[in-house]
Amino acid sequence: MTGLGSGIDYEAMIGAIVAAERAPKDNQLKRTEGMNSAEMDALKEIQNTINSFRDKVEDLNSSSELEKLKALLSNEDVLSATVDSNAVSGEYSFDVTQLAQTQRDQLFKVSEGSTFSKGSISFDSVNIDIATLQTDLITKENDKKQAHQDQVYKDIADKHGLDVTTDQAAIKDILENSANSDFDQSRLDSYNTRQKAYDDEVTRLTNDGVTIEELQSAINSHPDNDGVKATLVRSGDGISMVLNGKNTGQANAIGGVSVTLAPADIKGNTVDITQPENGQKNLQAAKDAIVKYGSMELTSATNKMENVIDGISLNLKDTGAVNVKVERDEAAVNTNIKAFVDAYNSVIETVNTYTKSSEDGAAALSGDSATRSMISRMRGVIGDEYTISTYQTLSQLGITTSRKGTLEIDQKKLDKALEDDFEAVSTMFLGNDTQTGMMDEMLVILDDYHKNGGTYDRRIDQLEYSNKQIVEDREKLDERMEAKTLYLRNYYAKMDSQIAQMNQTQSMLVSMLM
């Protein structure tokens, strides 16, 4: 604001003074905050690549990954096989003579749309009395009808401030009397439609009995049913209710299946249920799987035989003979070694990005001692000799270090090493009972940087704390500059007042002289 007494633009002067005083500290805070953020981003990126690399090292440190086996089958239609590191290389002959089966019984066969009024079905601890089921379903429909009426009455009572118990006559009048000012025809139509639907169901159940679908639902939802399922199978001349066991195997056979049905108690049926093909009969017996292994007979309640021989699991598909050849899976091991090399290279490349300066300026971690130390330790492990194995260095496997510090693979040399001495390659990476291998040595280093509370994690926490302090320092700076502004405004206001008085005195003296 321009001074009234002096005509001087004091506000511009105050702004310039405050800005000049603020600039050095503000620039310092911005510079420190930017450096902290850049360093945090770099540390997080490096830590992410370390985490990924550690996962690969941990995978490779597992015998199941570095000693991969595969199963070759002479007949994949008979079975499939999976193997783990506990398996022993060699050939295994199996003869599947019987697959595991679930028990399956036909309870009865009737015409589509048939209904039942009497009879019973029982198995295990389940007993369905059809007449009782009919009564229960009628009761359920009546309960649903009453619940619907209660809900409609409650909605009307709530809307018009009535008591649902003492004001039922008034509620009923609102619902049904078209002369009532609160009558709603669409509400009454909806209410009557639902009520009639319940009445129609009660009439149908009373006159005809229960449907085959209702009988199926009663079986499947019975509280004593331990997983046995009733299904409906439709054929050209009717519909069969079939009972299916819970699981395969003799131990899971359905116990004590009994069906009592009289033709007179089935309405709308034209199939003669007294004929054997239409009555209760076993369709499939519960059986265990049987596999011959030489003179041994292996049995299982399921068609999946876990760890039937150490490290070998079978999934049976059909009967027949099959030869299973277990051998080293060099391709899978090759893939795992390549994944290790790629993850290591990713760490090196990321570190190079954030530590090597360029013409554009210094990198965020340029000269960082902790990062240099980590890379030095990792390279030490990579370049070390492991005397526990015939292959003592990575270079003997065809894995060498480039000028950039990354690893390169001579695929032909690696393939030959795996072919010539698979165990020696594994031992160099995994170690043995007396000495650690390369992967254990690498994990020791990575754990210092990977886990929570590690070197990078602590530094990131410190930098985040530093940036929080910068926010507080900036708020304090704002407060000081605001106080400075108020002080200067007060100072120049007083000065302007004095100048105004001096001008007034001057004008008075000039007028007196004239």
Q: What is the mean pLDDT of each run of 10 residues along the chain (514 residues)?
A: 60 84 86 82 85 85 73 93 85 95 96 95 95 96 96 95 93 94 94 96 96 96 94 92 95 93 94 93 95 94 93 94 88 86 91 76 76 89 88 92 91 88 85 85 85 73 84 87 86 77 76 73
- CA atoms of 8 and 141, how far apart (whole Å): 93
Starting at the earlier edge strand, list the strands of the sheet with 120-123.
126-129, 120-123, 258-260
- CA atoms of 428 and 135, how far apart (whole Å): 76
Asked if 319 and 78 count as a contact pair (C-beta separation under 8 A), the reply is yes
Single-letter residue type at 244: N
Distances (CA, A) of 353 to 317, 380, 403, 404, 454: 54, 21, 15, 12, 22
pLDDT at residue 360 in the model? 65
- CA atoms of 427 and 67, how far apart (whole Å): 10
User: Nearest 10 degrees: CA dihedral of 330, 331, 337, 342?
Assistant: 170
- CA atoms of 415 and 398, how far apart (whole Å): 9
Q: Which parts of 356-421 fold into alpha helices (H)?
A: 369-383, 411-420
Q: Please report where in the chains the tokens 């209660």 appear, as a residue.
A: 150
pLDDT at residue 100 in the model? 97
Q: Please report where in the chains the tokens 């009439």 appear, as a residue.
A: 203
Task: Report angle CA 415, 421, 426 to the nearest 5 degrees.
Answer: 85
Long-range contacts of 354-360 (CB under 8 A, 24+ apart): 354/42, 354/45, 354/46
Asked if 110 and 266 count as a contact pair (C-beta separation under 8 A), the reply is yes
Q: Please report where in the chains the tokens 């000028």 appear, as a residue.
A: 403
Residue 217: both structure tokens together: 């639902």
231 φ, ψ to 5°? -125, 160
Long-range contacts of 142-149 (CB under 8 A, 24+ apart): 142/198, 142/202, 144/198, 145/195, 145/198, 145/199, 145/202, 148/191, 148/194, 148/195, 148/198, 149/191, 149/195
309 φ, ψ to 5°? -125, 145
- CA atoms of 216 and 214, how far apart (whole Å): 5
Asked if 121 and 107 count as a contact pair (C-beta separation under 8 A), the reply is yes
pLDDT at residue 16 in the model? 87
Nearest by Cα to 244 from 260, 220, 222: 220
Length of the chain: 514
Nearest by Cα to 290 from 247, 244, 249: 249
Asked if 51 and 59 count as a contact pair (C-beta separation under 8 A), the reply is no
Question: Which pairing describes strands 281-284 and 79-83: parallel, antiparallel, or unpaired?
Answer: unpaired
Task: Report angle CA 200, 204, 206 to the nearest 5 degrees.
Answer: 115
Residue 434: both structure tokens together: 């007396």
Question: Which pairing describes strands 210-211 and 229-235: parallel, antiparallel, or unpaired?
Answer: unpaired
| List of residues 6+ apart from 13 with CB closer than 8 A | 488, 492
Instruction: Centre a 10 Å sphere on the Cβ of residue 262 and count the other Cβ atoms it contains.
Output: 12
Q: Considering all CA atoms of the chain, what is the largest pairwise distance in Å, rounded to the nearest integer?
A: 145
Asked if 82 and 353 count as a contact pair (C-beta separation under 8 A), the reply is no
- CA atoms of 102 and 46, how far apart (whole Å): 55
Nearest by Cα to 373 from 445, 447, 451: 445
pLDDT at residue 487 in the model? 86
| List of residues 6+ apart from 448 with CB closer than 8 A | 374, 454, 455
Single-letter residue type at 23: A
Nearest by Cα to 391 from 428, 356, 343: 428
pLDDT at residue 1 in the model? 47
Distances (CA, A) of 352 to 45, 129, 346, 371: 12, 79, 10, 10
